Chain A
Amino acid sequence: MGSTQLPTPRINGAGQQFLEGTESGDPATGMVQLLGPDGTLGTDPVFSDYAKRLEPEQLRGFYADMAKIRRFDQEATALQRQGELALWVPLTGQEAAQIGSGRASQPQDYIFPTYREHGVALTRNVDLSELLKLFRGISNGGWDPTENNFHLYTLVLAAQMPHAVGYAMGIQRDQKLAEAAGSNDPKAAVLAYFGDGASSEGDVHESMVFAASYSAPVVFFCQNNHWAISVPTEVQTKVPLFNRAKGYGFPGVRVDGNDVIAVHAVTEWALEHAREGRGPVLIEAHTYRLGAHTTADDPTKYRGSDEETEWRGKDPLDRLEKYLRAEGLADDSFFDQVKLDGDELAAYVRRTALSLQAPDIHDAFAGVYAEPHPLVAEEQAWFRTYEAGFESEEEAGH
């Protein structure tokens, strides 16, 4: 197909060739890939320009981020196994998709994660120990989303997707007013995460319809990790997921989700596209969940180890390490330091997680409504009296 059928002529990279793809199980061929599993850097007619902007310091930073978040993931999994967390949602295998996309966002952008975006949280400077509050039964949220423009995790699959579009519609209105007032503030966009499983939810469809209708500045970032708990992507879709964008009338790009350089380039392009007012973009990052869906899951029940072995050969950290070493951009001392930093982060997270105090039930009463509510007040007053009854019994020596 010709690029004239797309809303923008700037999409003429490798991703475009596969808008016509029909096999949902398409292997990696045709997607945007810059850094191959062997650590060699290839080219792409569009996205190489973005990759060229990267300084060695950023590339080392990508590696450090990915190593840190993998170490964090191990520690959180261990905390769950030791009974300190009710549940953990591991991300191992998806580091490049998360770090590459998160690092492409700007501070003024707003992020809507699912519940697995620990790597994106790191790129938004969220204190990682706060991610554990949800899983330790301390909070249903855990951090202030307005501090780093990183929304709370959403557990109802895809429910955050229309929120992302509505937020983007708000940005549109704000920018219109700001421009009329002569403001030069940097433009913003929204980055909305979802997975191959959630792609079947109606809220994904509705959010894409709304985003297209209003040309909302939102980038839909699908991490296709190939498994929705036990159900493979083939059950969710008969066409490559990024192809669905075409049906909504905006660009879709498939990127190697284990190639942090390509993910960063594609996301940077997509966010620029959205910020400039040219509407939404769908990115499908082809990646793999190397571990379980959650710590309550057992992947050996539904998939073979050969598949996992194959994907370990495409590891996002290994390939960047090979590249950094081959190019002389990092040496043993760098990688040793990254390991030390990871261990330090893990120790911090463990220490902080274990010190998290359970909240008071009265904090829960306070959170139901923003404005005073007579029923909540009445029930809270009753509960205080009820509690006090036990205290006075204790005083009386019962």
Chain B
Amino acid sequence: MATMTVAKAINEGLRATLNNNAKSLLMGEDIGALGGVYRVTDGLLKDFGPDRVVDSPLAESGIVGTAIGLALRGYRPVCEIQFDGFVFPAFNQITTQLAKMHFRSSGKLTVPVVIRIPYGGGIGSIEHHSESPEALFAHTAGLRIITPSNAHDAYWMIQQAVECTDPVIFFEPKRRYWLKGEVDTENPGPASDPFKAHVLREGSDATIVAYGPLVPVALAAAAAAAEDGHSIEVIDLRSISPIDFDTVEASVRKTGRLIVAHEAPTFGGIGGEIAARISERAFLHLEAPVIRVGGFHMPYPVAKVEEDYLPDIDKILEALDRSLAY
């Protein structure tokens, strides 16, 4: 067991990957000497050299496009997109090429590319640096999307992403990069399957589903609700595509109430998908409509008002009150 930040855990996970898999390599803007703008790749260029840790030209489509070519040649590239809002120049390569290569080749080609994207707000940054575009990718078949919320998961999930034969988008909750946690580098324990949701807190009155940066917020909301006598179950979704509906459904069958929280706008988002699926699977077990807590239908606002935009403990408690009042 070691205590480390989420950023360090990803760094150590990447180091383990580079050590264990000779075909793996990292590529992205400023990931070499600088170690990435969040220092997630710090020290890796020095230890693995420029053939394995590739500082790329400043071109996102080029990064993902060349990663696809490297994967076709048998490599396992891990691309870093510097910020969430800068992934869109690569959107074409990700959705029309990466996601479809296995499908259009009838399974003859695989493209095990991992795309790391720091996402989400709450760091007081400027435009295009605080977005949560996961639903845009989740809508595309052929991609897998996972997001850790803590250091232990981060350490294991990045390695599992590289081992996966399918392309994986690895969303990193950037405002939790500095969150410290215990990491067991010997044994993944319950983190052995990156596509399974985790029940982090058991409860009987309602379920909160969250992922990535909002997991600590959901846990804090559950703790606050407990003070008012409510027993709240908290699920860390971990995987956004596929979604572990079995775990969510089992929880809802027990609690009868479901809140889904994410930073991304609620309209057309992951919360809506979960609400619809759970309505289909457990309609007669629901005591209240599934309630979503998320961003407004607006571009991510300026930093000085982001606290009004972002889901927080109070917004989740307000949703819980509405659910429990049914």
- Residues of chain A from 361 to 382 with CB closer than 8 A to chain B in the complex: 363-364, 366-371, 373-376
Cβ contact within 8 Å between B69 and A164 = yes
Q: A166-B69, A210-B56 are in contact. Are A146 and B108 (CB under 8 A)?
A: yes
How far is B57's CA from A202's CA once the two chains are assembled, in angstroms? 14
Say whether A210 contacts B92, CB under 8 Å.
Answer: no
Looking at A155-163, A224-232, A293-301, A330-338, the stretch in contact with chain B turns out to be A155-163
Contact A210 B142 (CB under 8 A): no
User: Is B190 part of the binding interface, using a Cβ–Cβ cutoff of 8 Å?
Assistant: no
- The contact of A367 among B56, B59, B68, B106, by CB within 8 Å, is B106
Interface SS, A side: helix
Query: Is B108 a contact partner of A371 (Cβ separation < 8 A)?
Result: no
Q: How far is the CB of A114 from chain B (nearest CB, A)?
A: 14
Residues of B within 8 Å of A139, CB to CB, are 104, 106
How many residues of B are in contact with the other chain, CB < 8 A? 48
Q: Would B66 and A166 count as touching, CB distance under 8 A?
A: yes
User: Which residues on B sit within 8 Å (CB–CB) of A202?
Assistant: 61, 89
Q: Is B105 interfacial (CB 8 A cutoff)?
A: yes
0 or 1 for each of A122-160: is its CB under 8 Å from B? (1 = yes):
000000000000000001110011100001101010010
CA distance A165 to B246 in the complex (A): 42
Shortest beta-carbon distance, A162 to chain B, in Å? 2
CB distance from A104 to the nearest CB of B (A): 21
A145–B105 CA distance with the chains assembled, in angstroms: 8
Pick from B56, B142, B244: contact of A368, CB under 8 Å: B142
Contact A162 B93 (CB under 8 A): yes
Report the nearest A residue to B95, measured CB to CB.
Answer: A156
| In the assembled complex, A22 has its CB within 8 A of some CB on chain B | no
Chain A nearest CB, measured from B152 CB (Å): 23
Query: Contacts of B75 on A, CB cut-off 8 Å?
Result: 170, 173
Q: Is the CB of A206 within 8 A of B69?
A: no
Q: Which residue of A lies closest to B244 (CB)?
A: A374
Check A96 for interface membership: any CB of B closer than 8 A. no
B141 at the A/B interface (Cβ < 8 Å)? yes
Task: Determine if A209 is an interface residue (Cβ-Cβ < 8 Å).
Answer: yes
Chain B min CB distance to A131 (Å): 14
**A156-B97, A206-B57, A370-B102 known; A167+B108 contact, CB < 8 A:** no
Contact in complex: A144, B108 (CB < 8 Å): yes
Q: How far is the CB of B295 from chain A (nearest CB, A)?
A: 25
Q: Please tell me if the beta carbons of A167 and B70 are within 8 angstroms of each other in the complex.
A: yes
CA distance A374 to B245 in the complex (A): 9
In the bound complex, CA of A6 to CA of B262 (Å): 54
A166 CA to B108 CA in the complex, in Å?
19
User: B242 touching A374 by the CB < 8 A rule?
Assistant: yes
CB-CB under 8 A from A164, the residues of chain B are 69
Residue of A with least CB distance to B64: A162
| Chain B residues whose CB sits within 8 angstroms of the CB of A69 once the complex forms | none
Whether the Cβ atoms of A170 and B73 lie closer than 8 Å is: yes
A370 interface neighbour in B51, B107, B242, Cβ under 8 Å: B107
Q: Give the nearest-CB partner of B74 in chain A.
A: A170
A296–B56 Cα distance when bound, in Å, is 40
B145 shortest CB reach to chain A, Å: 12
Interface size class of A (residues with CB under 8 A): 35 or more
When C-beta atoms are compared, the residue in chain A nearest to B102 turns out to be A370
Query: How far, in Å, is A129 (CB) from chain B's closest CB?
Result: 16
Most chain B beta-carbon contacts within 10 A, residue among A144, A165, A173, A206? A206
Q: Is B62 an interface residue (CB 8 A)?
A: yes
Beta-carbon nearest neighbor of B73 in chain A: A170
A169 near B: Cβ within 8 Å? yes
Instruction: Kindly list chain B residues whose C-beta atoms are within 8 Å of the C-beta of A146.
Output: 108-109
B165 within 8 A of partner (CB): yes
Query: A residues within 8 A CB of B103?
Result: 140, 364, 367-368
The reply to whether the CB of A203 lies closer than 8 angstroms to some CB of chain B is: yes
Alpha-carbon separation in the docked complex, A159 to B62 (Å)? 10
B29 in contact (CB, < 8 A):
no
Choose among B73, B102, B166 the residue that contacts A166 (Cβ–Cβ < 8 A).
B73
CB-CB under 8 A from B74, the residues of chain A are 170, 174
Closest to A375 in B: B242
Residue contact A373 to B70, C-beta cutoff 8 Å: no
> At the interface, yes or no: A385 with Cβ under 8 Å from chain B?
no
Interface flag for A111 (CB, 8 Å): no
Residue B116 lies at the interface, judged by CB distance under 8 Å to chain A: no
Give the residues from 145 to 170 in chain B that come closer than 8 angstroms, CB to CB, to chain A. 164-166
Residue A213 at the chain B interface, CB threshold 8 Å: yes
Q: In the complex, what residue of chain B is closest to A162 when comparing beta carbons? A: B65
The answer, yes or no, to whether A176 is at the interface (CB within 8 Å) is yes
What residues on A are CB-neighbors of B93 within 8 Å?
159, 162, 203
Q: Does B110 contact A (CB under 8 A)?
A: yes
* B142 A173 Cβ-Cβ under 8 A: no
Q: How far is the CA of A369 from the CA of B242 in the complex (A)?
A: 11
Does A163 contact B106, Cβ atoms closer than 8 Å? no
Least CB separation from B65: chain A residue: A162
**Are the CB atoms of A206 and B102 closer together than 8 Å?**
no
Contacts of A144 in B (CB 8 A): 105, 108
- Check A206 against B65 for contact (C-beta < 8 Å): yes
A-B contact pairs, 6 of them (CB 8 A): A167-B70, A213-B57, A367-B107, A370-B110, A370-B165, A375-B241
Instruction: Tell me the B residues contacting A by CB distance below 8 Å.
Output: 25, 51, 56-57, 59, 61-62, 64-75, 77, 89, 92-93, 96-97, 100, 102-110, 141-142, 144, 164-166, 195, 241-246
The 6 closest A-B pairs by CB, nearest first: A166-B69, A162-B65, A170-B73, A166-B66, A206-B62, A140-B104
